[in-house]
Amino acid sequence: MGGKPCIRSLRVTVGTVLGLLASGESRERILKAYPYLEHEDMSEALGYAAWQLEEREGEFLVPP
């Protein structure tokens, strides 16, 4: 998947799941569209996104 982070070893990117959640899709509809995903996969994708933001937080600080 071009080096993009994926859900488990599936060919579904974290970005795909996050984009669907951000656009207002319910977890139930996402699970119907991707039946091989599990409820926990969506929570893990959100956790990964939060971790990535924390890792980059320092890059945005402006020195005094």
Rounded to two decimals, the pTM is: 0.76
> Alpha-carbon torsion 3, 52, 42, 26, what sign?
negative
* CA neighbor of 38 nearest in space, from 15, 4, 10: 10
Summarised one tens digit per residue, pLDDT across range 14-62 is 999 999 999 999 999 999 999 999 999 999 999 999 988 876 655 556 5
Question: Which pLDDT does position 6 carry in this prediction?
Answer: 87
CB 54 within 8 A of CB 19: no
Whole-angstrom Cα distance, residue 34 to residue 12? 9
